[in-house]
Amino acid sequence: MLKVIKSFSRKILQALFGRKDNIRLGFYGPPNAGKTSLANRICKDWTGEEIGAVSKIPHETRHVQFKEKVEIKYKGKKLTFKLVDTPGIATKIDYEDFLRYGLRKNVAKKRAKEATQGIIDSIKWLDDMDAVIVVLDSAENPYSQVNITIMGNMAARKIPVLIVGNKIDLRKADVKKIESTFPEYEVIGISARDGTNMDEFYEALFRLTKKI
């Protein structure tokens, strides 16, 4: 309830003074889609620092990570964001899946325990977002129940969303498949790893903020 009141009063202030300052921009999606890689790319572009570590092992991000006052400039305009990088959302966590990556059993179990709490935190943070970037792996099938649940929750909360199809540098990448799965949303294909299409991403991000 308190969150709703805070969010409402913030929107009133924004409407009165016309300022969108420190926009809370969330990075959501399934595990290993590249949420932290994208957040890192943005942070490095505009602050010179990274937000968190990345890994091939799923659930590397197990705590919500922040970067305050990230000032992004595009075509003479300037916006300040608070980047909120969230753990990947999943319906199941099995420590045995981590063993395949060479983790020891006790390390894998600890990782699984932290990952479950991370998912709970990701969902709780949804109510605090002004806008959200949903990051999907464009080489994976976008039609998964987790993705549908994520998008459904954004729509139910009326949060403006931009879908990013990451990893377009991969041979199997198919951004059109994401577009046809979620036709009502804007989709931008990028590679957070090598920075491909980041200009188009920033342009889309500024368009997204107009919906707040």
Partner 1 sequence: MKKAVNRKLRGLSLQVLTYSEIKELSIVERVKKILSLVLGNKIVLLHGRLRPEEEARLIEDTMAMVDHIKDFKGIELAVIEPDLRKEGMLTKVKYGIARRLVGDSSALTVIGPASIIKEIKRDPKKIELLLG
Nearer to partner 1 by Cβ, of 59 and 167: the residue is 59
Q: Which of residues 95-114 bind partner 1 (CB under 8 A)?
A: 112-113
Burial of residue 174 (number of CB atoms within 10 Å: 0-12, 13-18, 19+): middle
Interface with partner 1 includes 119 (CB under 8 A)?
A: yes
Structure tokens at 73: 């400039």
Burial of residue 210 (number of CB atoms within 10 Å: 0-12, 13-18, 19+): exposed
Residue from 14, 47, 80, 116 that binds partner 1 (CB under 8 A)?
Answer: 116
Interface with partner 1 includes 153 (CB under 8 A)?
A: yes
Q: Which of residues 121-140 bind partner 1 (CB under 8 A)?
A: 123-124, 126
Nearer to partner 1 by Cβ, of 103 and 170: the residue is 103
Nearer to partner 1 by Cβ, of 42 and 119: the residue is 119
In what order do the strands lie in the sheet containing 23-28?
A: 65-74, 77-85, 23-28, 131-137, 161-166, 187-189
Residue from 48, 145, 171, 184 that binds partner 1 (CB under 8 A)?
Answer: 145
Nearer to partner 1 by Cβ, of 12 and 120: the residue is 120
Ramachandran assignment for 114, one of left (phi > 0), alpha (psi -120 to 50 degrees), beta (any other): alpha
User: Hey, how many other C-beta atoms are within 10 angstroms of the C-beta on 159?
Assistant: 19
Nearer to partner 1 by Cβ, of 12 and 180: the residue is 180
Nearest C-alpha neighbor of 27 from the set 3, 51, 1, 44? 51
For the bound state, the minimum distance from the C-beta of residue 166 to partner 1, rounded and expressed in Å, comes to 22
CA distance 70 to 48: 10
Nearer to partner 1 by Cβ, of 123 and 170: the residue is 123
Q: Which stretch binds partner 1 (CB under 8 A): 18-26, 144-152, 168-176, 198-206?
A: 144-152
C-alpha neighbours within 13 Å on the C-beta side of residue 133: 34
Interface with partner 1 includes 12 (CB under 8 A)?
A: no
Q: Which residues bind partner 1 (CB under 8 A)?
A: 89-94, 112-113, 116-117, 119-120, 123-124, 126, 145, 148-149, 152-153, 155-156
